[in-house]
Amino acid sequence: TKTSLPSYPMKLQRCWEMPENHNKQDRQYEYTENEQLIDTCLISSPQLNVYKTIMSESTHTEVREHIIGDKNVLAGTVYVEMLRCAAKKVLKNDKMQVDNLLFMNAMIFEKGQTREVQTILYLRTDDKYDVTIQSRPVGEETWEIHAQGQVSVLAEENPESVDIEKMLRSMAQRPLENETSPVEQLVTTGPRWQVNRGLWVGNEEAVTMAEIDSKFTDELKKYYLYPSMLDAAVNCSSALNGNNFCLPYYYGTLKIYDKIPKKIYSHTIRNAAASSSDGELNVFDISIVDEFGRVIAIVKNYAMKKAGASQKKQFYQKEVPWMHTLNWVKETTDFKAARPENDEKAVIVVRTIDNCNERLLEEIRDTFRGNIYELILCEWEMRDTARKYYSAPGDLNRICTYFEAFDETEIARVIFMVQEHRSVYTIEKLDDAVENMLHAYYNIIYVLAFNKKLGNPRVDLIIKTTGPEIDPMALALQGMGKSLLNEYSRLKMGCIVYTSETELKHVINELFYSHNDYLILLKNGERFVMGMKEVSIEHEPSSEKKFELTKGGTYIITGGLGGIGLVLAEYFAELESNIRLVLMSRRELLPQEEWEKETDVLYKRLCELNSKVSELIYCSCDVSDEKSVEKHVESLGCVTGIVHAAGVAGGGFIIKKDWDDYLKVLKPKMHGTLNMLNLSRKYKPEFIVLFSSYSTILPVAGQSDYISANSFIDAMVVQKDSELPVKVINWSGWKECGMAYDNGGEMIRTPVTFLSNAEGVELFAKAMVLEERQVLIGKINCEVLEEVADDYSKVIRFPDYVTEKIKNGHGNVKNQREIYHVTITGKDAPLTETETKVSQAWAKVLGLKEIHYQDKFLEIGGDSLSATYLQKELNNSYPQAMDITDVFVYSSIKEMADFIDSKIQQERKEESMEQRHLNEDKGKSTTSFAKNAKGDLNELLQMLADGKIDVKEAGKYI
């Protein structure tokens, strides 16, 4: 029965539409037959027609059911149906011809992505339309073009029907399933694509029979060229492509005579003349017919192109890489010529007495002229002169006294000329260098940080390098300076490394350039900064080399009783049981025969380990002690591999730490490393792995000892004397064991995510087979990094994927800071505004939901690392209000909030005083100068320049 529906008058209204609201449910009209792939018409004019479709995995089976690699990718035949559908609207004809249809970029849907697709038809003079299919993720600006061609009405009779039986006679039927074919391996399709029913292959020709599953026959009416059927028809040619994974590239001519029915045959003939002989390009002619032989479509010159490795890669989720390495990146910014600052503040050059870089010293003297003072480091006593002062590098008192003399003038700069070392370090030379360089630098920083009257000096290290390597002690110094970048906001830190052929004027210029980079390398007249790049791991399984241990080998793990050392020892035992494992740590253990009786977890693990390897040896040995190491290793007789994992967690700000504590962190890394290298020279092991830390690349305040020690290790990547098989691994934190875990580090949001034990050993094995000598292990967490990226941009250039992610992925973080809800106990009255902000910052940094009003930051989980995060967090709301040291002085929420409030009040007071002075200034400036007994010529000249007095008036005062 028919029902008549009431009709309403319609009002047309034009409006702008938000793309996100536009999904399939909001289609502006119901599908009409064969219009499944077009949503709306955006522009309809005689010349230009634009159709829009919003597509996603959830709205379109075409997206959902076609996966290449692990991405949803639109099949080429969907473009064909899409353009046919749009062209039908302008051509008003079902029969049409598509020419020169070129596939340019695959339309890839990232996880959960919705794309806006446009089909654009532009009328050319000869009744042909140019057609373009382009798309972009909804909400983004840039379009990607996927296909371009021409379309016109097909004004010719249908060709004669084909005799299918006759066609098949010259070919042999083949089984359909071919799991090993490259297409099967890469492409995964859904049920609508399971249409292949038969395959016949002859000489340079093939026939496929395709039939849509009866469950989907109803869908046929929504399409003219059902994409999966057309796909089966044209890609039957894959049977003739050899063992190559090819992608559709080009349709020379496609003549569409009729709608694709439930069942079709497709006959493909390879056009050998047009195909390339190397298999790169395969060209075919194809006829598609129904089961009665009636022609549906004819394709001439259909080309498929072999997909290259980089093309294949785009179909895989780009995994955030686990491993990186370092490289020097050329910096192309052109800076203006250098000009010394025009002020009276002192410039202090620090150098050892035997530093022979006279030419550089002369250049510096010439540049800063009257402002220059020299602090010369020497162990014996020397008489000071007006400009030269002598001090032992470790004499903190004398260095303090020296700097106090600059209380009045303030210090503009400290230039630390780093001593060159030309030979391999011995332990003795290393001790000298630690004392002359590191201890002196430590003392100077201590004084500058402590004595605020010295102003806000810039401290630059200048390092000369003769070969590709940077002296390890110089690198240790730069590591120390790097960690101080965020420790004392008053001090500006810098480090210039230059190669011997660099013109010294370039080195001097560098001191004046206004850039933020902490570390600059000047080489062959060019400037470089440190960059990080991903270490690529190929998808091809064949390229995977394996890390293996040698049967019967002897492997030393220093720090073997530590968190990572022991996990690695257990991994080695799993990998190869026929080995001798030697663990070295300082502590004494019970004799081995007593281990079984012990209930302690360490002994249990050691017993287990002992049962798995040929021999387990424990050496109680300080790795920084040359003699002790030699004695232990001599008794072993041979060494096959060394993992140097001994280390002591550092921490603490320079102003709160004394030098002896500093040395405890330096020694196992610096002296230990030298001892391990000496062993390697003697015993020639297959590998020597030195454990360093990610903190040498992404430094944190309060870690200068640890970063400096690890930077020394980083320098070992390039060896001065030999081709030792050294590898340096810069670990991010481990979350289940080790020093970061022991210190509760894993609860802090870090820019490089922490590793589980399983991840750690797996990545260790991968890093070991990589070519790279230095491997940074740990995934970058862009979300966290974004919050501190500005700081880190001073020390490293991140790889493009990180920069892109920070730019695009989490663009909102900065503007919409997360609000952390926290309950504050111990205060009845409501919190003040500042207290609320401070408590939220605590909650975020410490990951707590409840805090007592009087709790001390360091007592409820805070440490020097989290203190820097807290300082940053608070400085977002109260710029410049907190110095890092203030976090330790004002340690409860109340104290911190009171301190910030007092600072704000003081600032306001100063501002209003300044304003008052400014107002009074105009009238009184000259009189104030006259009254001021100390009024000097500079002040007078400044007043002249500012127009506050004229020349006549100035003359009176002179």
Residues 6+ apart with CB under 8 A from 467: 718, 720
Q: Is 5 exposed, middle or buried (0-12, 13-18, 19+ CB in 10 A)?
A: exposed
Cα separation, 522 vs 525, whole angstroms: 7
Residue 212 C-beta: closest distance to ligand NAP, Å: 57
Q: Which of 434, 461, 564, 677 binds ligand NAP (CB under 6 A)?
A: 564
Give the contact letters, 505-544, x = binds to ligand NAP (CB under 6 A), - = no: ----------------------------------------
Cα separation, 468 vs 736, whole angstroms: 38
Other Cβ atoms less than 10 A from the Cβ of 441: the count is 25
Cα separation, 236 vs 242, whole angstroms: 12
Cα separation, 478 vs 462, whole angstroms: 9
Give the contact letters, 166-205, x = binds to ligand NAP (CB under 6 A), - = no: ----------------------------------------
Choose the binding region for ligand NAP from 107-115, 348-356, 387-395, 727-735 (rule: CB under 6 A).
727-735
Q: Which of 211, 374, 622, 791 binds ligand NAP (CB under 6 A)?
A: 622
Q: Which is nearer to ligand NAP, 285 or 622 (CB)?
A: 622
Amino acid identity at 840: Q
Q: Which is nearer to ligand NAP, 149 or 650 (CB)?
A: 650
Q: Which of residues 25-44 bind ligand NAP (CB under 6 A)?
A: none
Residues 6+ apart with CB under 8 A from 20: 138, 139
Residue 330 C-beta: closest distance to ligand NAP, Å: 30
Cα separation, 80 vs 87, whole angstroms: 10
Other Cβ atoms less than 10 A from the Cβ of 820: the count is 17
Residue 613 C-beta: closest distance to ligand NAP, Å: 19
Q: Which of 263, 429, 523, 586 binds ligand NAP (CB under 6 A)?
A: 586
Phi, psi at 174, each rounded to 5°: -125, 150
The reply on whether position 562 binds ligand NAP by CB under 6 A is yes
The reply on whether position 733 binds ligand NAP by CB under 6 A is yes
**Residue 487 C-beta-side C-alpha neighbours within 13 Å:** 25
Q: Which of 321, 481, 559, 702 binds ligand NAP (CB under 6 A)?
A: 559
Q: Which of residues 910-939 bind ligand NAP (CB under 6 A)?
A: none
The reply on whether position 565 binds ligand NAP by CB under 6 A is yes
Task: Please check whether residue 734 is in contact with residue 757, taking contact to mean a CB–CB distance below 8 angstroms.
Answer: yes
Tell me the residue nearest to ligand NAP as measured from the CB.
562
Q: Which is nearer to ligand NAP, 187 or 629 (CB)?
A: 629
Residue 668 C-beta: closest distance to ligand NAP, Å: 4
Residue 861 C-beta: closest distance to ligand NAP, Å: 17
Residue 769 C-beta: closest distance to ligand NAP, Å: 20
At 147, which helix (H) or strand (E)? strand 144-153
Cα separation, 388 vs 373, whole angstroms: 6
The reply on whether position 738 binds ligand NAP by CB under 6 A is yes
The reply on whether position 845 binds ligand NAP by CB under 6 A is no
Task: Please check whether residue 210 is in contact with residue 197, taking contact to mean a CB–CB distance below 8 angstroms.
Answer: yes
Choose the binding region for ligand NAP from 17-25, 542-550, 737-745, 767-775 (rule: CB under 6 A).
737-745
How much helix, strand and coil, in percent to the nearest 5, is found in the chain? 40, 25, 40
User: If DSSP codes are grouped into helix, strand and coil, which group holds residue 133?
Assistant: strand
The reply on whether position 585 binds ligand NAP by CB under 6 A is yes
Choose the binding region for ligand NAP from 146-154, 570-578, 622-630, 803-811 (rule: CB under 6 A).
622-630
Residue 400 C-beta: closest distance to ligand NAP, Å: 31
Q: Which is nearer to ligand NAP, 234 or 752 (CB)?
A: 752
Backbone Cα Rg of the chain: 37
Q: Which of residues 634-673 bind ligand NAP (CB under 6 A)?
A: 645-648, 668, 672
Residue 865 C-beta: closest distance to ligand NAP, Å: 12
Q: Which of 691, 712, 798, 857 binds ligand NAP (CB under 6 A)?
A: 691
If you search the block for the tokens 């940080």, which residue do you land on? 449
Q: Is 758 exposed, middle or buried (0-12, 13-18, 19+ CB in 10 A)?
A: exposed
Choose the binding region for ligand NAP from 81-89, 287-295, 581-589, 920-928 (rule: CB under 6 A).
581-589
**Which ranges of 104-187 would DSSP assign to H, the alpha helix?**
164-169, 182-186
Residue 852 C-beta: closest distance to ligand NAP, Å: 30
The reply on whether position 840 binds ligand NAP by CB under 6 A is no
**Quick one: how many helices (H) and strands (E) in the chain?**
27, 35
**Residue 351 C-beta-side C-alpha neighbours within 13 Å:** 20
Residue 676 C-beta: closest distance to ligand NAP, Å: 11
Cα separation, 370 vs 502, whole angstroms: 26
Residue 588 C-beta: closest distance to ligand NAP, Å: 9
And the tokens for 417? 């000329």
The reply on whether position 764 binds ligand NAP by CB under 6 A is no
Residue 814 C-beta: closest distance to ligand NAP, Å: 28
Residue 584 C-beta: closest distance to ligand NAP, Å: 6
Choose the binding region for ligand NAP from 442-450, 553-561, 681-689, 716-724 (rule: CB under 6 A).
553-561
If you search the block for the tokens 């007043």, which residue do you land on? 943
The reply on whether position 731 binds ligand NAP by CB under 6 A is yes
How many residues belong to the site for ligand NAP (CB under 6 A)?
28
Task: Please check whether residue 76 is in contact with residue 230, taking contact to mean a CB–CB distance below 8 angstroms.
Answer: no
Residue 825 C-beta: closest distance to ligand NAP, Å: 33
Long-range pairs for 781-785 at CB < 8 Å and ≥24 separation? 781/749, 781/750, 781/751, 781/752, 781/753, 782/806, 782/809, 782/810, 783/809, 783/810, 783/813, 784/749, 784/750, 784/751, 785/751
Choose the binding region for ligand NAP from 82-90, 127-135, 263-271, 554-562 (rule: CB under 6 A).
554-562
Residue 752 C-beta: closest distance to ligand NAP, Å: 10
Q: Which of 225, 561, 867, 900 binds ligand NAP (CB under 6 A)?
A: 561
The reply on whether position 584 binds ligand NAP by CB under 6 A is yes
The reply on whether position 689 binds ligand NAP by CB under 6 A is no
Q: Is 542 exposed, middle or buried (0-12, 13-18, 19+ CB in 10 A)?
A: exposed
Amino acid identity at 356: C
Q: Which of 624, 703, 866, 871 binds ligand NAP (CB under 6 A)?
A: 624
Amino acid identity at 808: N
Q: Which is nearer to ligand NAP, 236 or 648 (CB)?
A: 648
Query: Maximum CA pair distance of the chain?
Result: 118
Strand pairing of 144-153 and 129-137? antiparallel
Q: Which of 266, 558, 675, 868 binds ligand NAP (CB under 6 A)?
A: 558
Residue 477 C-beta: closest distance to ligand NAP, Å: 19
Task: Please check whether residue 693 is in contact with residue 706, taking contact to mean a CB–CB distance below 8 angstroms.
Answer: yes
Across-strand partners of 323? 777
Q: Which is nearer to ligand NAP, 129 or 731 (CB)?
A: 731
Q: Which of 618, 734, 792, 842 binds ligand NAP (CB under 6 A)?
A: 734
**How far from 391 is each of 77, 405, 438, 692, CA to CA, in Å?**
80, 15, 14, 33
Cα separation, 78 vs 135, whole angstroms: 13
Other Cβ atoms less than 10 A from the Cβ of 11: the count is 5
Residue 559 C-beta: closest distance to ligand NAP, Å: 3
Residue 695 C-beta: closest distance to ligand NAP, Å: 7
- List of residues contacting ligand NAP (CB under 6 A): 558-559, 561-565, 584-587, 622-624, 645-648, 668, 672, 691, 693, 731, 733-734, 738-740
